Amino acid sequence: MTDTRAPAHPVDSEVDANYRIDVSKVDTAVLYRITKMAFRHKARMAIGICATVIAATFQLFIPQYLGQAVDQARGILAEVSAEGRARGIAEDALLSTALLLLGAAVGRGLFTMMQNYQGEAVGQLIGYRLRLDYYRKLQQLSFSWHDRVHSGDLMTRGILDIEGLRHWVDTGFLRMILLTCLIGGGAVILIRNDLELGLMALSFVPIVALRSSFARLKLRDAWMALQDQMSHLTKVMEENLGGIRVVRAFAAQAYEMARFDESSGKALAIAARRVRLFVHSTTQMSFVYFLAMAATLWVGGEKVLTGTITLGQLTETLTFMLILRMPVRQIGWMINSIARASTCGGRLFNVLDLQPSVADAPNAKPLQTNEGIVRFEGVDFRYPTWAKDERTLNDITFEARPGKMIGIVGPPGAGKTTIAQLLGRYYDVSGGRITIDGQDIREITLASLRDAVSIVQQEPFLFTASLNHNVAYGAPWAVRPDIEHSAQTAQLHNYIRGLPDSYNTLVGERGVSLSGGQRQRLSIARAILPDAKVLVFDDSTAAVDAATERQIREALAEFVAERAVIIVAHRLTSLMHAGEILFVENGQIVERGSHEDLMKSDTRYRQLYELQSRASSEDAA
């Protein structure tokens, strides 16, 4: 059944691994989305905005009080020869102005601290929420998407991009309100005092805004390039650490160091270019600012001499410009924050907006298992990244049921592992269908399907945790006796009991402290611990010796009698006891039957069996 509905968001299998949107076209949408997330914390944002406005208001009072104090001080000087009573009144007024100035400064400091605290708090809450959403989305996206995306790039987006995005509230949104209040309120005050002088004092603002807009475009592109290069740097480091034993074995440390240095050097060059852009734009804005201040001082001084304005009003104008010195520099920081937030947000939301190509259907129901009969009915499949005419599987039909084990064999690349992946619905079939007890697996919930189908992966993956936790990963509430029984069935119990900490022994990263055979046996123990109705062994004993494999098979005999079992293997001794053996070649079943039936004629299976038998005899000799 094919879902023909148009998805509301991009589907992961239809999107290239480096999928990105043109950030220059979505800055507003991305910033709006981040701001909307911030306003989910209504109380904090309300406090932050109010604190910003109040802090800006207090800051606007400071120049007025200073101008007033200057005029009062001049009045005192003019009255030095006057009566003491008149001088005392002027001194009291100056003291009151000084106290008001101190109060305005203290109020500005307190509310600025409140603004910074709330802005940072909301940013941290946004970062926390996005980390959870991002990690959850990575768990949901299908294998076809993960097949094309490097984990280093995903880690960069989940760490650096979220870090760049969360600063938007404090360094972008609240700072924008602060600058609007300061510049807007100050403009009203200055123009009210003297139109010409006020316009001259504010002349640097449009020039700085225009220069900031150009800087924004360049900074955005530089930040995007830096993020891409950091993603590549993370990939290089991850590959080196993952293959550190191979690097040491081939004495390739110098090569790997040079490779990392080259990638790191490119990141440094981009970062240096970004710093130059930032410093250059900030320097230009500061120069324009000081030029405007010099002109204001010159014109204002002339007006004081002619008596058009008082010295206090000129002081007020210059003080206001001095107060704007830092905000002028912060315009560059704010523009940088806008560029960074829009770029990081665009990259992050590209992933968050994806819809898994493999997901629960709208009316999906839990799987109802009775007998546990698995059927592949004319199944076709091709990987989404391959050309349209490149099919991995073509018309695959078979049935597995309790008491009838299915073995699958064939040359490398024939599609054997793909069959196992399709049964777990890690990919969706291109044609035909797969059913369990007559229920199409596309019409049941993924959670119930994964509970019913247990797959022993071809490449076992172990977590950095105890052996106990690794075995019980699929059944975290399992009790110790059940865990030990599973390990005993997988022929691993005696080895674990011989360790100093037994089942509490910590497994190294990716299970490097265990041999290949031990990792596979632990993977088998993990798969059989849950009460799954369908078991799939995907070449899961390739690293296990023949004697141990026979012991595992004998221990599993009673366990698999009540479950549908599919065994994928290259070594025929692993599946020659199966009720039906499928020989897969070029994505098609070319031969099928029991071991005895396939050995009666000159089949590909018989040729492979004889080849492996001769190889075993030669090795034994």
pLDDT at 55: 92
pLDDT at 389: 54
Distance CA 303, CA 598 (A): 109
Instruction: DSSP for 301-346, please give it.
Output: HHHHHHTSS-HHHHHHHHHHHHHTHHHHHHHHHHHHHHHHHHHHHH
Q: Percentage of the chain surpassing pLDDT 90? A: 8
pLDDT at 555: 75
pLDDT in tens, 53-105: 999 999 888 888 888 777 777 766 555 544 555 556 666 776 777 788 888 88
For residue 601, the number of C-alpha atoms closer than 13 Å in the C-beta half-sphere is 7
Which structural domains are found in the chain, ordered by start? 17-352 (1.20.1560.10), 374-585 (3.40.50.300)
pLDDT in tens, 221-269: 777 788 778 777 877 887 777 777 777 777 777 888 888 888 888 888 8
Distance CA 25, CA 42 (A): 29
CA neighbor of 174 nearest in space, from 70, 32, 371, 35: 35
412 CB burial (10 A radius; 0-12, 13-18, 19+): exposed
pLDDT at 2: 40
Residue ranges of the chain with pLDDT lower than 70?
1-27, 75-91, 94, 213, 216-217, 220, 328-330, 332-333, 336, 385-390, 508-513, 542-543, 615-621
pLDDT at 386: 55
Distance CA 161, CA 38 (A): 17
Distance CA 240, CA 245 (A): 9
pLDDT at 508: 66
List CB contacts of 354: < 8 A, sequence separation 6 or more.
Answer: 9, 10, 11, 12, 15, 137, 141, 145
Which DSSP helix (H) or strand (E) runs through 454? strand 453-456
136 CB burial (10 A radius; 0-12, 13-18, 19+): exposed
pLDDT at 19: 46
Report whether 166 contacts 245 (CB < 8 A): no
